[in-house]
Structure 1
Amino acid sequence: MTPNRRIKKELDYMLKLYPIVALTGPRQSGKTTFLKTEFPKYKYVNLENPDNRNYALKDPNNFLNEHGKYVIFDEVQRVPHLFSYIQHLVDENKIMGQYIFSGSQNFHLMNNITQSLAGRVAILKLFPFDLEEMKTANWHNPKDFTYNMQRGFYPALYDRKIPSKIFYSNYIQTYIERDVTNLINIRDLKNFRNFLYLCASRAGQLLNLNSLAMECGITQPTAKAWISVLETSYIVFQLQPYFTNFSKRVTKTPKLYFYDTGLLCHLLKIKEPQNIATHPQKGALFENMMIAEIVKNNAHKNLLQELYFFRDAVGHEVDLLIQTDEKMALVEIKATQTIMTDMFKGLQYFETLKPNLVKSKSLIYAGFENQKRTAGKLVPWEIVCTNKW
Structure 2
Amino acid sequence: MFTRTAISILYEALAISPAVLLSGARQVGKSTLCLGQDREYRVFDDLSEREAALNDAIGYVVSLPKPVTLDEIQKVPEILEGIKIDIDKKRINGTFLLTGSANVLDMKKAKDTLAGRIIEIVMWPLSQKEINGKHEENIIDALFAHGISGIQATGISYDALLKAILSGGYPEIQKIESVRGRALWFNSYISTYVERDIRDVGELRDISAFIKFFNIIAPRSCGLLNKSDIASDAALTEPTINNYLSMLEMIYQISLLKAYSSNVSKRFIKSPKLYMTDSGVFCHLLGVTGLEELHESNHKGNIFETFVYSELLKHTSYSISQPSLFHYRTNDKKEIDFILEKGNKTIAIEVKASHTVKKEDFKHIADFQSKSTQKILGIVLYSGEHILPFGDEAGERYAVPLSVFF
Of 131, 142, 147, 1:134 maps to 131
The residue number in structure 2 matching 1:368 is: 385
1:225 corresponds in structure 2 to 243
Q: Is 2:354 the counterpart of 1:336?
A: yes
Mapped partners of 2:108, 2:298: distance in 1:
40
Give the 3-state SS of the residue equivalent to 2:281 in structure 1. Answer: helix
Q: Which residue number in structure 1 is paired with residue 191 of structure 2?
A: 173
Of 226-235 and 46-55, more deviation after overlay is shown by 46-55
Gapped regions of structure 1 (runs ≥ 5): none
Instruction: Measure how far apart 1:246 and its partner are.
Output: 5.2
1:315-347 Cα shifts (integer Å, max 9, x gaps): 211111001123321111111111101111111
SS in 2 for 1:136: coil
1:147 correspondence with 2:146 = no
Whole-Å separation in 2 of the counterparts to 1:167 and 1:130: 19
Q: 1:323 is matched with which residue?
A: 341
- Structure 2 matches for 1:245-260, cutoff 5 A? 245=263, 247-260=265-278
Greater CA drift, 89-98 or 58-67: 58-67
- Could you say which residue in structure 2 is the equivalent of 1:7? 6
Partners of 2:308 and 2:131 in 1: CA distance: 15
Query: Hey, what's the Cα distance between the residues in 1 that align with 2:236 and 2:155?
Result: 41
Query: Distance in 1 between the 2:218 and 2:59 partners?
Result: 48
2:124–2:314 CA contact under 8 A, matched in 1: yes
Q: TM-score normalized by structure 2?
A: 0.86
* Shift, 1:161, TM fit: 6.6
Aligned residues: 380
**Greater shift in the superposed pair: 54-63 or 123-132:** 54-63
Check conservation: 2:155, 2:385, Cα contact below 8 A: no
Match of 1:98 in 2: 95
For 2:399 and 2:11, how far apart are their aligned partners in 1? 34
Classify the secondary structure of the residue corresponding to 1:26.
coil
Contact 2:78/2:110 (<8 A) preserved? no
Percent identical: 27
What amino acid is the match of 1:268?
A: L
Alignment match, 2:30: 31
Q: Which deviates the most, 166-175 or 367-376?
A: 367-376
**How far, CA to CA, are the matches of 2:32 and 2:270 in structure 1?**
40
1:280 CA displacement = 0.7
Further displaced range: 111-120 or 164-173: 111-120
Q: Is the 8 A contact 2:77 2:104 kept in 1?
A: no
The yes-or-no answer on 1:280 pairing with 2:298 is yes
Contact kept, 8 Å, 1:10 with 1:301, in 2: the verdict is: no
Q: Match for 1:381: what amino acid?
A: L
Deviation at 1:383, TM superposition (A): 1.6
1:233-263 Cα deviation digits (max 9, x unpaired):
2111111111233555321111111100111
Is 1:69 matched up with 2:66? yes
What whole-Å deviation, never above 9, does each CA across 1:346-381 have from its counterpart, x for those lacking one? 11100111132x431111111222334425122221
- Are 2:264 and 2:371, in contact at CA under 8 Å, matched by a contact in 1? no
Contact 1:77 1:109 in 2 (8 A): no
- Letter paired with 1:35: C
Pick from 249, 267, 272 the counterpart of residue 285 of structure 2.
Answer: 267
Q: Which amino acid is 2:281 matched to?
A: L
Q: Structure 1 residues 277 and 269 mapped into 2: Cα distance closer, same or farther (>3 Å)? A: same
Q: Please, what is the CA RMSD of the aligned residues?
A: 2.5
Cα gap change, 1:44 to 1:202, in 2 (>3 Å)? same
Decide which of 226, 233, 236 is 2:254's aligned counterpart.
236
Task: Give, as a single letter, the amino acid of the residue that structure 2 aligns with 1:127.
Answer: W
Q: 1:213 to 1:106 in 2, by over 3 A?
A: same
Aligned partners of 1:191 and 1:113: how far apart in 2? 26
Aligned residue among 40, 44, 69 for 2:41: 44
Distance 1:77 1:302 in 2: 28
Shift of 1:154: 0.8
Which residue number corresponds to residue 158 of structure 1? 174
Amino acid at match of 1:24: S
